Structure 1
């Protein structure tokens, strides 16, 4: 993930002390991470004024404040520095997930959180962040895969391209999109495949929300994009444009 001398500051905020300790212990097993753990919105705000993290992991509800994590994300945006955010929350409505993405989330994980999945996400996000800091172009690497015309999945760099344009996707959305790219156009990608691709992070009732986000990422480059279709009761299918 990093060279011998590289370190990354990861700031975690979670009001439940037992859960906070579980998160801290799980991530402390990964080399190169400097972890800072907090329980309150005020403490995090004070820390932001002193030093910004390389990655921010936040519960959304802190104490009686139902939107504390969202508020802290907005505050991070005011510093005008791109800092990846992972939200952890029991709130899984389409509105909350969309809002989390709008506030800069690179992932939105449901509680109870799988610590193994979180470890993987943190590793990937920091690798991606490191890569973007040293990138000289938006060209894909040589190790790309896709059976779909116009779509390229650059898995080593955790990126996807549509007609040579970089798609704005979270890592979870990239994992879902990769399921389409691995099959010929017209194949049905089941709900179970999409869930498995994200290590179970995406719940059955939130798959549509993530698919909507994926479609919107394509529409940023192709306003008439309409290749991802729902297959009633089964999943989704990619259909080439006529």
Structure 2
């Protein structure tokens, strides 16, 4: 996938910041749809979904407009990755953003160079489906199936509600098999640097919750303190 095939929706109520974001992305060859409010963005999504959403949290008079936008996107059948940009940097806000499917939560004022790098890293994950061979796509964990080209995982034949980033992290457990430790570095590397080390736990919590929606007693992903995580067979 080339940058010109990759459509990004940017939602920002500050006109200067919106212009800067759009210009920086278009200079890299991305197709960009820009919006200064949540409602117009959601109307556009009804006609066609973007590959990525970049959104502020506070949109006009809506203090949680970006979060509400993310909730709206959860209603679609396909996961749409979101990068939040915000001056709000409390642990609660960052946690909320990730629980709503964000792959990243970046502080304002935003570094445009950092944002471009993260967008390109995400493109390498979601846009290149030919980098994994058949062995990498085979799950060694019973009842867990992977469909690499769709970035979908199935637990007891039911689809797991995961972002593309979380799918890549889960795949590390599926390939390693039961009782094998997946290091923090391996989990971060699996996302091409999209996930920061300090947000890995948040994504693991989301992955666990996805399993619990299907099997509420799920307790297979264990924290191996100082090392990473492992998949342990339920006893």
* Structure 2 CA distance for partners of 1:47 and 1:221, relative to 1, 3 Å: closer
* Structure 2 CA distance for partners of 1:172 and 1:16, relative to 1, 3 Å: farther
Q: Are the aligned partners of 2:125 and 2:192 in contact in 1 as well (CA < 8 Å)?
A: no
Deviation at 1:223, TM superposition (A): 1.2
Aligned partners of 1:54, 1:126: CA distance in 2, in Å? Answer: 15
Gapped runs of 5+ residues in structure 1? 129-140
Aligned partners of 1:47, 1:188: CA distance in 2, in Å? Answer: 42
Show the counterpart of 1:96. 93
| Paired residues, number | 218
- Superimposed CA distance per residue, residues 20-67 of structure 1 (whole angstroms, 9 cap, x where no aligned partner): 535554356557x4x2224x43xx535655774523431224589753
Show the counterpart of 1:239. 232
Partner SS for 1:169: coil
Aligned partners of 1:213, 1:164: CA distance in 2, in Å? Answer: 19
* Structure 2 CA distance for partners of 1:145 and 1:96, relative to 1, 3 Å: farther
* Structure 2 CA distance for partners of 1:208 and 1:47, relative to 1, 3 Å: closer
Q: Are the aligned partners of 1:57 and 1:86 in contact in 2 as well (CA < 8 Å)?
A: yes
Segments of 4+ in structure 1 off by > 6 A?
123-128
Aligned partners of 2:115, 2:138: CA distance in 1, in Å? Answer: 28
Deviation at 1:188, TM superposition (A): 0.6
Show the counterpart of 2:57. 60
1:221 maps onto 2:220 in alignment: no
Show the counterpart of 1:188. 181
Deviation at 1:220, TM superposition (A): 1.1
Aligned partners of 1:92, 1:201: CA distance in 2, in Å? Answer: 18
1:209 maps onto 2:211 in alignment: no
Aligned partners of 1:158, 1:29: CA distance in 2, in Å? Answer: 25
* Structure 2 CA distance for partners of 1:224 and 1:187, relative to 1, 3 Å: same
Partner SS for 2:145: strand
RMSD between aligned residues: 3.8
Deviation at 1:163, TM superposition (A): 1.5
1:70 maps onto 2:70 in alignment: no
The one of 190, 194, 207 aligned to 1:197: 190
Q: Are the aligned partners of 2:178 and 2:233 in contact in 1 as well (CA < 8 Å)?
A: yes
Show the counterpart of 1:87. 83
1:26 maps onto 2:25 in alignment: yes
Show the counterpart of 2:119. 118
